[in-house]
Amino acid sequence: MKNKRNTYILLSAVLLIWGLLVYQFFSFTSGEAVQEAITTNLKVTPLAVKERDSIAINVNYRDPFLGKAYLPIDPNMRTAGTKKKAMPKETVNWPSVVYKGIVSDSKDKKKVFMVIINGQTYLMRQKDTEQQIILKNGNREYIDVLYKGNTNKILIQQ
């Protein structure tokens, strides 16, 4: 009998607490509160910002390790040991090349690869040429192709 009485008291306390929480929640959401519109005229003025002074740093000081004065390197001046710079190569527009996988048995010495070049499917072996693209080598994951002197690694696409 004693346990039932404690259970009823605790149950009524829990229901009372939850009831108060629900009442508080719904009392804040009532739409009866009217807020008055407050209008104020605000004037916006830009801030005055001072320009910063630029500072020049003189880097023509003696090198503490070599003991010599700093000499800037003139790009137009050539020294005796330098060679002419190589001309930049032209960018090569690669055709669309897609590697689809190995067609032949992987145990064979001569593997046959399925390559799609500009929408046309080709079965190629190593050192084969199709549309100026040379297949150098390959495996299950990728192939190496050569086009106009540029090499590219192409991953398998499924």
CATH number at residue 138: 2.30.30.830
**What pLDDT score was predicted for residue 48?**
87
Query: Cα dihedral sign for 22, 24, 28, 31?
Result: positive
Q: How far apart are CA 114 and CA 103, in angstroms?
A: 6
Residue 20 has a pLDDT of 93
Q: Answer yes or no: is 45 within a domain.
A: no
pLDDT surpasses 70 at 78: no
Predicted structure pTM score: 0.43
Summarised one tens digit per residue, pLDDT across range 106-135 is: 677 888 999 999 989 999 988 899 988 999
Looking at the structure of the chain, the number of domains it has is 1
Residue 130 is part of which domain span? 97-155
**Helix runs in the chain, H state only:** 2-28
- Asked whether residue 102 is assigned to any structural domain, the reply reads yes
For residue 42, tell me if it sits in a domain: no
Is 9 a residue whose pLDDT tops 90? yes
Q: At CB < 8 A and 24+ separation, what contacts does 90-95 make?
A: 92/147, 92/148, 92/149, 92/150, 94/147, 94/150, 94/152, 95/131, 95/133, 95/147
The verdict on residue 11 lying in a domain is: no
